[in-house]
Amino acid sequence: MVRITGKRISESTINRLSIYYRILESLEREGYQTVSSKDLAQREKLTPAQVRKDLSFFGQFGTRGLGYPVSELRRQIAEILGINKRWNVALVGIGNVGSALVSYKEFAKQGFQIKLIFDNDQRKIGSFHKGIEVHDVKNLKSLLNKNNIEIVILAVPASVAQLIIDEVVSAGVSAILSFAPANLRVPSNVTLRSVNMAMELEHLSFHLTNENLYYTA
């Protein structure tokens, strides 16, 4: 078990752990046994101190002068990120975004298995996407329960997003990823992560607008 109790881990750190994981994976493929904080930092335009701080969540792990053991570090990060196991995922909404997500190979690779798809369009209900049947969103709650769904991905219009989230929450699911451009509310025991494509572009327009501004990673 990774001992991380008592430490505070920010969302940015979680993000960097995901990135380190991917770097370690490719280093492992390339046959590397160890990696220094400097090398990890260079690949992500971070400072070695930042990398060491992030990896200190795993206790005294790297060896001064030798660096971190690649496979072992990758395995430990997988454990802390919870990607060393399989997660049952349901997708609500099979429009353009939903279709893109079902085809997204990296989900299954990282352990996220889309087991159920829901939609409210009668023409879509009963059809199959990548072998997964589309169910009527009317049966959302009962099917989430029956299939032990742990994570729900929402790719629905903003106008219905809160309604569906309330139902997902009432089904006992406590992890939701939303692509709906809406301000959504969940109880404090539920983790909601929203992806807003426009907000991603706003990072770029910010940098284009403030080119000479110092900013931190």
Q: Rule CB under 8 A: which of 156-195 touch a second copy?
A: 174-177, 181, 183, 188, 191, 193, 195
Give the phi and the psi of residue 90 in degrees, each rounded to 5: -120, 145
Among 50, 71, 81, 132, binds a second copy (CB under 8 A): 81
Binding of residue 201 to a second copy (CB under 8 A) = yes
Question: Closest separation between CB of residue 196 and a second copy, Å?
Answer: 7
Among 35, 55, 143, 151, binds a second copy (CB under 8 A): 151
How many residues of this chain interact with a second copy, rule: CB under 8 A?
Answer: 74
Q: Is 184 helix (H, G, I), strand (E, B) or coil?
A: coil
Question: Closest separation between CB of residue 33 and a second copy, Å?
Answer: 20
Residue 101 or 125 having the CB closest to a second copy: 101
Q: List binders of a second copy among 93-112 (CB under 8 A).
A: 95-97, 99-101, 103-104, 106-107, 109-112
**What are the b/e assignments for 17-45, b being 16+ CB within 10 Å?**
bebbbebbbebbeeeeebbbbebbbebee
State how far the alpha carbon of 149 is from the alpha carbons of 13, 87, 88, in Å.
Answer: 26, 8, 5
CB 161 within 8 A of CB 154: yes
Rounded Cα distance, 211 and 183, in Å: 30
Give the phi and the psi of residue 13 in degrees, each rounded to 5: -65, -40
Question: Closest separation between CB of residue 133 and a second copy, Å?
Answer: 19
- State the residue for tokens 């909601």: 192
Q: List binders of a second copy among 9-48 (CB under 8 A).
A: 9-12, 14-15, 17-19, 22-23, 26, 43, 45
Question: Closest separation between CB of residue 80 and a second copy, Å?
Answer: 7
